[in-house]
Amino acid sequence: MPEGDTVLQTATRLHAALAGQVLTRSDLRVPRFATADLTGRTVLDVTARGKHLLTRIEGGLTLHSHLRMDGAWRVFAPDERWRGGPGHQIRAILGNTEHTAVGYRLPVLELLRTGEEDRAVGHLGPDLLGPDWDPGLALARLLAAPDRPLGEALLDQRNLAGIGNVYKCELCFLARVTPWLPVGSLPDGVLPRLVTLAERLLHANRDRPTRTTTIISELRTPPNRDLAPRPAPDTGRPRPRPPHRVQERLFVYGRARRPCLRCGTPIRLADQDDRPTYWCPGCQSGPTP
């Protein structure tokens, strides 16, 4: 599921393949831009902004794309067979003499003036992986709606850009509150540390091929450890094994009915704003569906 770290990795691959090269092939397979021809222009850079991709092209143009749930950009060598889906799912092709970038199932694809990029990304909050990261601004935007459920507030890219459903669930687990708890009901001091932790987790995963949050035990935690798993309480039941670095990469996401890595309670699953949401009823306090 593409989130801020995945999108940054995609931007890095596209930048390495396209930047500084003249386009010898250009095909935008969306009705509005089907006649646009970018061949002969040099790609200047490819940048991630939250979950958005901005491919800047000579002549003051930017190709804006968004992966949403299942979009993907793939990069291929000249003689390499394209893999990523059937041909009818291809929405964009950008090629030079050395590489071809193919965009599959892109729900958002538009060509705009570089000077007008704010039309596409100007609404975003500070980018957790960007040079504009501002934890104070992110915190202020989250606190502006204290009655809003934490899970919904974390997913709102106007508050802070880059968090998706996986990080939403994992961050709520690390904060020991359910995603349905109103932002204003969080214990004192937890929200600022949660914002800091979100930035640290995305940075820790920005170069990893597979996302993991159980590395939190390897990260420096706040002095009071409010946002780190505590030892499992003595319940009389066998304690779960510690997270395995390969098999157990996430604390709760995708682990419905499996035992919590901290307390052994089965992980629960419900929808929040039409998104699958996972939590541990033993470790996380607050309202639930």
Give φ, ψ of 54 to 5 degrees: -120, 110
Which residues touch 11 (CB under 8 Å, ≥6 apart)?
Answer: 46, 47, 48, 53
Distance of alpha carbon 142 from alpha carbon 138, whole angstroms: 6
| Cβ pair 98, 105 in contact under 8 A | no
User: Degrees (nearest 5) of the Cα angle 204, 210, 216?
Assistant: 40
Question: Helix H segments across the chain?
Answer: 4-18, 118-121, 135-143, 150-155, 165-175, 190-205
Catalytically active residues are 2-3, 51, 275
Q: How far apart are CA 151 and CA 277, in angstroms?
A: 9
- DSSP H or E run through 104: strand 100-104
